[in-house]
Structure 1
Amino acid sequence: MIPNFKSHPWHGIAVGPDAPNVVTVFVEIVPSDTIKYEVDKETGFLKVDRPQKFSNIIPAVYGFVPRTYCDEEVKKLAIERGSTDVTEGDHDPLDILVLSSHNIHSGGLLMDAIPIGGFKMIDKGEADDKIISVLVDDQVYGHIRDISELPKAEVSRLQHYFLTYKNLPFEPANCRIDEIYGADHAKEVIVASQKDYAKNYGG
């Protein structure tokens, strides 16, 4: 009998045959979570990163794109777009947020998403892009193809979360968003992160 091993969610799952137009997403956190989970890079299991100490609630499903990595190519893109103080990528898989009208109850699952834009986030000198996407075939969001089609209030809500989710009272913020970009640049970031992955891990 052949053993049935579970694939590592970062290294063992394909980004998808139509990437970067449609990408596989491994979900780590959902809006009902009061604890921030992330994949343990060594084992592939979800682990507790930290309890959410304050009122920051993730506004949509959040995870990463498998077989991506944010290093020199992602840093280069940030610098080309004007973020001259960037020193490196954040050395993690590429973060992605998925908009959906459905109540997804837990992480640890896969879904297909269409990138529509993103935030050029700089965190302590690291390029830490946040890709914004929509769930394939979602009844409310599934037709959207660019972040410009979202209501401005929705974009502001997402932006506010990423600017505040690491904040501590009475301490200055260490991150900023230099640019809100559309679908075309989001796909460039995905491709850059795939190149960074290939350089560091092969493939």
Structure 2
Amino acid sequence: MPFSMKNPFHAVPALVKNNSSEINVILEITCGDIVKYEYDKNYGMVVVDRILKTPIPYPFNYGLIPQTWNEFDNDPLDVIILGNKPFYPGVLVPCRVIGMLSVDDNGERDDKVLAVPIGDSRLSHITDLSDIDEKELESMIYFMEHYKDLEKKKVEVTGTVDAKTAFKFIVECQECYNTKFDIK
């Protein structure tokens, strides 16, 4: 019998448990890296998209929520994972939603969910955006607004939202996924 592997984007649920505010994140980009990896939904694996032209490494881990679809940028919903410990691209990181950055990426809405890893006890006190250090938030925003500077593309963080509002958007993106991929 031939070996068959399920595509994690379709096989892994968005939520860690039903009716939970904890999400699964497929990691794409490692904290401290300048390689822009992207999850290829067709191949079911992380591929190298490009090397950042701006010599500013990602100050956070970055990934996507499986079984979600952001209709504004036509991609799975993106997640910024707080913390400075790098994870490997392709791993699954269970996280707690704490908020969201509203982002305009070269004229396209491309919001980023903010989350903390459930398995990091040093971040267990963070349950909402108001719990994180202001300097850490400023650092994330600075990176987002400048990592494409040398590509002559404009990225602007237009605001932030709390965990409850972010989670509502995740649910909307789950519904968009179900519609796009004809899931009943």
Is TM-score (shorter-chain normalized) higher than 0.5? yes
Residue 183 of structure 1 corresponds to 163
* Deviation per residue, 1:74-111 (Å, 9 max, x gap): xxxxxxxxxxxxxxx0000000011235443x211001
Rounded Cα–Cα distance in structure 1 between residues aligned with 2:148 and 2:6: 30
TM-score of the pair, normalised by structure 1: 0.83
Q: Counterpart of 2:11 in 1: which secondary structure?
A: coil
Alignment of 1:1-203 (within 5 A): 4-16=3-15, 17-18=17-18, 21-71=21-71, 89-100=72-83, 102-104=85-87, 106-168=88-150, 171=152, 173-203=153-183
Conserved in 2, the CA contact under 8 Å of 1:69 and 1:197?
A: yes
Question: What is the TM-score when the length of structure 2 is the normalising length?
Answer: 0.91
Aligned length: 182
Percentage of matched positions with identical amino acids: 30
The answer for unaligned runs of 5 or more in structure 1 is 72-88
Q: Distance in 2 between matches of 1:4 and 1:15?
A: 25
- Give, in angstroms, the shift of residue 19 of structure 1: 5.5
Q: Which consecutive unaligned segments of at least 5 residues does structure 2 have?
A: none
Are residues 174 and 101 of structure 1, via their aligned partners in 2, closer, same or farther at CA, if it must alter by over 3 Å?
closer
CA shift in 2, pair 1:136/1:120, >3 Å: same
User: Partner amino acid for 1:136?
Assistant: I
Runs (4 or more) in structure 1 with deviation over 6 Å come to none
Q: What does the per-residue CA deviation read over 1:49-72, in whole Å, with 9 as the maximum and x for residues that have no partner?
A: 00122222111111000010111x
Q: CA deviation at 1:4?
A: 4.9
Displacement of 1:123 in angstroms is 1.7
